[in-house]
Amino acid sequence: MTNPVQPRPIFIAALPREVASLVKGDGWQSNQSQRKRGIHLYSNDHAVVSCAGMGAHRASLAVEAALTLGPASELVSVGWAGACNHRFKVGDVIHPTIVIDAKTGERFFIQEPNTTDGSPEILVTVAKPSGIIEKERLEISYYASAVDMEAASVARIARARDLPFHAIKAISDEATFEIPYLSDFTAPNGQFRQIAFSFHLAVRPSLWKPVAILAKGSKLAAHQLCAEIQAHIDQHRSTRP
Q: Tell me the pTM.
A: 0.88
User: In terms of residue numbers, what domain contains 149?
Assistant: 8-239
For the cut 80, the answer to whether the pLDDT of residue 61 exceeds it is yes
For the cut 90, the answer to whether the pLDDT of residue 79 exceeds it is yes
pLDDT recorded at residue 190: 63
Whether residue 3 lies inside any domain: the answer is no
pLDDT recorded at residue 148: 98
| Cβ neighbour number for residue 203 with a 10 Å cutoff | 7
pLDDT recorded at residue 180: 66
Whether residue 229 lies inside any domain: the answer is yes
Whether residue 26 lies inside any domain: the answer is yes
| Alpha carbon 104 to chain centroid, angstroms | 20
Go through the chain and tell me how many residues it has: 241
Enumerate residues 6+ apart whose C-beta is below 8 A from 98: 107, 108, 109, 110, 120, 121, 122, 123
Whether residue 194 lies inside any domain: the answer is yes
pLDDT band at 106 (very low <50, low <70, confident <90, very high): very high
Mean of the pLDDT values across residues 119-132? 92
The predicted-structure confidence for 82-105, as pLDDT tens digits, reads as follows 999 999 999 999 999 999 999 999
Whether residue 2 lies inside any domain: the answer is no
Q: How many structural domains compose the chain? A: 1
pLDDT recorded at residue 215: 83
Nearest to 29 by CA among 37, 14, 40, 13: 40
Whether residue 167 lies inside any domain: the answer is yes
> Residue 27 is part of a domain; what is its CATH number?
3.40.50.1580
Whether residue 1 lies inside any domain: the answer is no
- 42-56, 188-202, 204-218: segment of lowest average pLDDT: 188-202
Mean of the pLDDT values across residues 159-188? 85
Whether residue 71 lies inside any domain: the answer is yes
